């Protein structure tokens, strides 16, 4: 059984796609591309797809990850192209590697987010960020299935700063003031999401954007504690492929049709 790890995006209007909607679209793409999927056992077999830490509905992302299991070896890049053609624009498969190491989910320990605050002056955002960074704790509330929960949004934040440029597509171009925030946050329990940080900015500095923030995940992976950067979670698989001798399975993957 061959395992392939994929990175995909949620762009533009497709950021409003729920995780369940994406699952349905992806399984249809697998059928269209005639991917030789491995299936679970039981009365209702399902294709073996493992999703890792999906972004909340309504947020864009450049770094979503999943893993699929195949019954026949395939070339990862050719498979990526076929799946990308079978998905709607905005749900784009942008990277694919053969899984040669274990624990992909364990390498997703932090995310880099971009928060676009239309209607907010950059100077006001800078003051709010400074107040948030200076606080030891920032308690926020979130409504959950079991009721309203109060937790600290500050401890999970590695860094929060204003930025003059943004790398994600402009969701709502406007001539009004616009502040861009760059957020690096650890994946903890309970999860601290970008909207929790925005609630924290409102709590410590009364920063309240006049329109909902456009939020995009730029990266997720293993947090380098020394530098505060987030590394590519697929890099270990690429490194393993470069150092391992080519196996019979790898040869089949390179030559077999998709």
Note down pLDDT in tens along the chain; length 258 residues. Answer: 899 999 999 999 999 999 999 999 999 999 999 999 999 988 889 999 999 999 999 999 999 999 999 999 999 999 999 999 999 999 999 999 999 999 899 999 999 999 999 999 999 999 999 999 999 999 999 988 888 999 999 999 999 999 875 544 444 555 789 999 999 999 999 899 999 999 999 999 999 999 999 999 999 999 999 999 999 999 999 999 888 765 444 545 544 554
In 166-250, which ranges are E strands?
A: 178-186, 214-224, 229-231
pLDDT value of position 231: 96
Which domains, and CATH codes, for the chain? 2-106 (3.30.70.580), 109-231 (3.30.70)
Q: How far apart are CA 181 and CA 160, in angstroms?
A: 7
The answer to whether the beta carbons of residues 81 and 87 sit under 8 Å apart is no
At residue 7, the 3 state secondary structure works out as strand
Which residues are paired to 96 by β-bridges? 6
Q: How far apart are CA 173 and CA 59, in angstroms?
A: 17
The answer to whether the beta carbons of residues 214 and 118 sit under 8 Å apart is yes
The answer to whether the beta carbons of residues 31 and 186 sit under 8 Å apart is no
């Amino acid at each position: 059984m061959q395992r392939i790890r994929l990175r995909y995006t949620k762009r533009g209007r497709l950021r409003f796609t729920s995780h369940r909607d994406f699952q349905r679209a992806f399984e249809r793409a697998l059928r269209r591309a005639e991917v030789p999927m491995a299936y679970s056992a039981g009365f209702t077999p399902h294709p073996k797809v493992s999703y890792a830490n999906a972004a909340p509905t309504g947020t864009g992302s450049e770094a979503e990850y999943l893993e699929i299991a195949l019954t026949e070896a395939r070339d990862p890049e050719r498979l990526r192209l076929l799946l990308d053609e079978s998905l709607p624009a905005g749900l784009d498969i942008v990277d694919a590697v053969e899984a040669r190491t274990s624990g992909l989910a364990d390498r997703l320990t932090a995310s880099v987010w971009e928060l676009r605050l239309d209607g907010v002056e950059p100077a006001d955002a800078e003051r709010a960020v400074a107040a948030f960074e200076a606080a030891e704790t920032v308690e926020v509330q979130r409504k959950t299935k079991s009721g309203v929960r109060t937790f600290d949004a500050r401890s999970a934040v590695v860094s929060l700063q204003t930025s003059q440029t943004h790398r994600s597509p402009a969701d709502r171009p406007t001539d009004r003031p616009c502040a861009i925030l760059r957020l690096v946050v650890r994946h903890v329990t309970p999860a601290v999401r970008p909207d929790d940080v925005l609630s924290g900015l409102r709590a410590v500095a009364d920063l309240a954007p006049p329109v909902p923030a456009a939020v995009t995940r730029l990266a997720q992976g293993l947090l380098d504690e020394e530098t505060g950067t987030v590394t590519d979670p697929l890099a270990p698989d690429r490194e393993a492929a470069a150092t391992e001798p080519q196996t019979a399975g790898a040869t089949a993957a390179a030559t077999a049709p998709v």
